[in-house]
Amino acid sequence: MMPTKTRMMTGNSPLQTLLIATHNSGKLKEYQTLFANLPVQLVSLREQSIDMDVDETGTSFVENAILKARSYSQASQLLTLADDSGLEVDALDGAPGIYSARYGGVKGAAQHQYLLDQLTSVTNEAKRSARFRCVIALCDPQGRMETVDGSVEGQITFAPRGEHGFGYDPLFYLPEYDKTMAELAPSVKNQISHRAVAARALRPILAVWLGNS
């Protein structure tokens, strides 16, 4: 089924469609909040009937975000946003990095334990510094491209804490909140996350692109 170009009206002006390169409805809602009041209608891959997968063969968050944004923009012929993100641990020379989702070849609690096992010898909290990073790429069907970077600094705990969030959130401690990311209310996390930081950096760029389209 071919993707459709969705347009809605606001006042007398049509909204341009922005494809968010995800099947995750939660991520789509997060971007809808972050880009509120911009003249744009956000849609997901599922809404555009796009089921292709893009091989993330890049060696950095930037390269993978660009690969996805360019591929999905060409497939849909829509202005497209794609992101790539992960956890960087200083004591592990930046690992797991772009391999965060498949680190250790395990998932969930087993992956948490795998990461903690790599840090067994690092007993000084200050030396367990880490950051979540997100790179967002914005691409149009003509190949115009912009990227922005967002991060949030923290430390890796000695054991999981908290019930909210996903991924490494239970291991990521934020000293200024005295909580892990998984202990924060979702409304707070969505304001300070690496994706939120990157999206706020992209917002003025997106506003200019929409104004010129």
What residue ranges define each of the domains in the chain, with the CATH number in brackets? Answer: 8-212 (3.90.950.10)
Q: What pTM was computed for the model? A: 0.88
Please say if the pLDDT value at position 29 is more than 60.
Answer: yes
- For 145, the token pair is 């491209």
Output the CA angle 30-33-37, nearest 5 degrees: 150
- For 61, the token pair is 């968050």
Q: Please state, as a whole number, how many other Cβ atoms lie within 10 Å of the Cβ of residue 90.
A: 15
Please identify which of the residues 51, 53, 84, 149 carries the catalytic annotation.
Answer: 84
Which DSSP state fits 123? -
pLDDT digits (tens, 9 = 90+) for 50-63: 999 999 999 999 99
* Between 1 and 174, residue with greater pLDDT: 174
pLDDT digits (tens, 9 = 90+) for 115-127: 999 999 999 999 9
Which DSSP state fits 104? G
What pLDDT, on the 0 to 100 scale, is given for residue 164? 87
In the residue annotation, 93 being an active-site residue is answered as: no
Q: Are 90 and 104 in contact (CB under 8 A)?
A: no
